Structure formats: structure tokens, C-alpha cells
């Protein structure tokens, strides 16, 4: 099945913006949505969903394909991560591979990791191989602080799409995982309820959680002066730190959205705006801390 890829870096659309016979994956349309009359679908677990029970986009697409989703001509995506690439590939993957045990097992594993993050416990048979497939992209992402131009981001998405497609079609063979670079974080703020803000240039939620901080905002300053924030709680079972979604009053993402539009995410993880020009948030860390503290201590 030949699928046309529409990569729109940082864009957010509604399902009404999509043409017939199309699929939006992992956040370009916020929240799961469907229009059966025009065969257009949003497979998402960021907007207006409960993260604890909402599957990752790739798992949603896997289930949809196994239930008969077909005649899709194009996919729409606005960012690059493991879930968005796998979800896109699964839309057009040959049905016999979609039905295979190893593809299902791999997708369930990467889906759980993406939906629940480093707080999710369990065996990881495929994640090392998947990290190897993404290692060149991850190196480049660190180099540019995830600030890709539309052109470069689209090139990377297509390259990763082809790599993942080939891997799934060939039987999900094991590839040695790359060495992870040294990671560290610095706690810069601590709230009255024990939540923390930490500064780091890497994804460090696994390290933050392992040190007993199960409610955190991790941030870094980008070369353009803006700040990228990720708001996370170890699981939906933890109370007292209502991350999102941003459309629900009383959540952290909603409070931040009242000051600066574009904050998005689900009930356990979310973050700062993703602008088309690569910029993130203009809010300084002290401001974000004050907004969250005011909300949590009402």
C-alpha cells in the first residue's frame, strides 16, 4: 500500500482539515477522533485523553488495521518520535505483517513505553533495537536541541519511516543497541508539595523517577532563547499533580495555557508549545514554577 506522507512540523489541525481517506497520527490532530463517512481518523493519545488507559498512537493504528482500516491514501504527522513513526508505518504495512506476532509484540512494547514512560515496568525485548534504528536521529536531535527546520524534519521522518518499515517487514531482527551518552540533571526548584523542576539537556525522567521524584517538570533552554518544558508524573495512579489535558480547568497544562497558548499533552505527560519555526515556550522557569505552585496550593 503506497501512502503519501504529509509532514507539517509543529502544526495542529482538526479532523475537518483532513482530506478523505487519511489518518492523523500522534498529535497533529489532538485526541482520538473519527469520521467514518469520509474515512478520516486521528490516532492520538495527547489531547483530551486519560493517559493511563489510552493506548499510544501506534497501538491504536495496529488495532484499527486488525479491525479492517483500509483505503488510506495519506498520513499527517507533526513531529518525530518512535510512536509517530511506528504509527505512520503501520497505516500502510502489509496486512500479513500487521497480523504477525512479532510486529504486535514490538508495537505493544514501544507503545507502553511511549504512553507511560520510564515509570512502566516490564521486559524490553525490542526497545534496544528500536533505539539503534533511531540512534543517528537522536544524535542529530541532541546536536540541534530538537530544533529542526521543516525540510530537515521531513527528511528525517521519511528516512526513519523507511527504516522502521524495512525492519518490521523483515521480521523484527535484533540489532545491537547503541551506547547511551552520559545524562544528568540539576534540581532548580522544589514545590511545597514535593514536586520538582529540573534542568537537563537530555531526556532524564527515568533518572528523576529513580531518585524518588515522581512529579516533575524538566526543562532546557534552546539556542533561540526559548525554553522546552516537559511536565510529567510517574503514573496516573499518583495524585496531587494534575498534568492535563490542557483543555480541562484545574490541570497544570490548562493553567499554563491561560498565560501562553500551545501547551499540550495528556493526563500524565505534556509540554510546552511546538512552534512551526522550532521555538518553544517564552516563559522563564521561575514563571512556570510560580504558575504551577499557585495552582497546586489553592
9-24: pLDDT as tens digits: 989 999 999 999 999 9
pLDDT band at 279, cuts 50/70/90?
Answer: confident
Mean pLDDT value of segment 89-109: 97
pLDDT band at 1, cuts 50/70/90?
Answer: low
Residue 267 has pLDDT above 90, yes or no: no
- Percentages helix, strand, coil for the chain, rounded to the nearest 5? 35, 15, 45
pLDDT band at 130, cuts 50/70/90?
Answer: very high
- In 3D space, the residue among 235, 192, 243 whose CA is nearest the CA of residue 217 turns out to be 243
pLDDT band at 122, cuts 50/70/90?
Answer: confident
48: CB partners within 8 A, 6+ apart: 30, 31, 245, 247
**Is the Cβ–Cβ distance between 83 and 57 less than 8 Å?**
yes
Beta strands in the chain (DSSP E): 4-7, 22-25, 33-35, 40-43, 74-77, 186-190, 196-199, 215-221, 227-233, 264-265, 269-271
- In 3D space, the residue among 135, 84, 91 whose CA is nearest the CA of residue 110 turns out to be 84
Residue 123 has pLDDT above 90, yes or no: no
Residue 276 has pLDDT above 80, yes or no: no
Mean pLDDT across the chain: 92
Query: What is the reported pLDDT for 236?
Result: 79
Residue 180 has pLDDT above 80, yes or no: no
Mean pLDDT value of segment 26-30: 93
Largest Cα separation within the chain, whole Å, is: 55
186-296 CATH: 3.10.310
pLDDT in tens, 214-232: 999 999 999 899 999 999 9
Query: What is the reported pLDDT for 275?
Result: 82
pLDDT band at 203, cuts 50/70/90?
Answer: confident
Query: What is the reported pLDDT for 250?
Result: 96
Residue 176 has pLDDT above 80, yes or no: no
Mean pLDDT value of segment 177-205: 90
pLDDT band at 43, cuts 50/70/90?
Answer: very high
Query: What is the reported pLDDT for 153?
Result: 95
- CATH 3.10.310 residue ranges of the chain are 186-296
The pTM assigned to this predicted structure is: 0.77
Residue 163 has pLDDT above 80, yes or no: yes
Q: Which three cell numbers stand for residue 119?
A: 515509570
CA angle (224, 84, 68) in 5-degree steps: 160
Amino acid at each position: 500500500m503506497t501512502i503519501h506522507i504529509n509532514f507539517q512540523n509543529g502544526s495542529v489541525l482538526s479532523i475537518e482539515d483532513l482530506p478523505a481517506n487519511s489518518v492523523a497520527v500522534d498529535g497533529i490532530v489532538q485526541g482520538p477522533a473519527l469520521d467514518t463517512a469520509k474515512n478520516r481518523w486521528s490516532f492520538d493519545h495527547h489531547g483530551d485523553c486519560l493517559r493511563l488507559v489510552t493506548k499510544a498512537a501506534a497501538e491504536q493504528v495496529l488495532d484499527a488495521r486488525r479491525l479492517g482500516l483500509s483505503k488510506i491514501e495519506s498520513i499527517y504527522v507533526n513531529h518525530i518520535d518512535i510512536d509517530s513513526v511506528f504509527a505512520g508505518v503501520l497505516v500502510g504495512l502489509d496486512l500479513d505483517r500487521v497480523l504477525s506476532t512479532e510486529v504486535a509484540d514490538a508495537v505493544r512494547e514501544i507503545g507502553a513505553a511511549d504512553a507511560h514512560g520510564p515509570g512502566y515496568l516490564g521486559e524490553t525485548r525490542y526497545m534496544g533495537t528500536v533505539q539503534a534504528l533511531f540512534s543517528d536521529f537522536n544524535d542529530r536531535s541532541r546536536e540541534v536541541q530538537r530544533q529542526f527546520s521543516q525540510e530537515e524534519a521531513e527528511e528525517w521522518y521519511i528516512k526513519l519511516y523507511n527504516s522502521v518499515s524495512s525492519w518490521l517487514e523483515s521480521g523484527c531482527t535484533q540489532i545491537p543497541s547503541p551506547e547511551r551518552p552520559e545524562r544528568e540533571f540539576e534540581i532548580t526548584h522544589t514545590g511545597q508539595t514535593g514536586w520538582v523542576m529540573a534542568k537537563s539537556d537530555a531526556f532524564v525522567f527515568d533518572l528523576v523517577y529513580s531518585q524518588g521524584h515522581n512529579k516533575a517538570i524538566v526543562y532546557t533552554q534552546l539556542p533561540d532563547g526559548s525554553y522546552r518544558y516537559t511536565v510529567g508524573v510517574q503514573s496516573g495512579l499518583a495524585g496531587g499533580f494534575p498534568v492535563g489535558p490542557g483543555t480541562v480547568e484545574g490541570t497544570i497544562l490548562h493553567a499554563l495555557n491561560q498565560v501562553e497558548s500551545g501547551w499540550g499533552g495528556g493526563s500524565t505527560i505534556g509540554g510546552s508549545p511546538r512552534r512551526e519555526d522550532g521555538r518553544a515556550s517564552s516563559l522563564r522557569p521561575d514563571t512556570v514554577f510560580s504558575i504551577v505552585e499557585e495552582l497546586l496550593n489553592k
